[in-house]
Amino acid sequence: MKKNEKKEVIRSIIIIVVFLTCIGGIIWFYINDSNQLKKESMYTKGIITEKFAGAKVESLVRFEFYVNKIKYIGSDGYSIKYDVFDVGDSCFVMYARNNPRNCRLIRITVDGNKVLKIQRLKHLN
DSSP the chain: --HHHHHHHHHHHHHHHHHHHHHHHHHHHHHHHHHHHHHSEEEEEEEEEEEEE-GGG-EEEEEEEEETTEEEEEEEE--TTT----TT-EEEEEEETTEEEEEEE-EEEETTEEEE-EE------
What predicted TM-score, i.e. pTM, was given to this entire model? Answer: 0.74
**For the chain, what is the mean pLDDT?**
89
Domain locations in the chain as residue ranges: 1-39, 41-119
Summarize the confidence of residues 119-125 as an average pLDDT.
62
Predicted local confidence at residue 125, as pLDDT: 42
- What percent of the chain lies above the pLDDT cut of 70? 95
Q: What is the pLDDT of residues 6-23, one digit of tens each?
A: 888 899 999 999 999 999
- Give 2's pLDDT tier (boundaries 50, 70, 90): confident
- Give 123's pLDDT tier (boundaries 50, 70, 90): low
Q: What is the pLDDT of residues 44-88, one digit of tens each?
A: 999 999 998 877 778 999 999 999 999 999 999 998 888 889 999
Predicted local confidence at residue 124, as pLDDT: 46
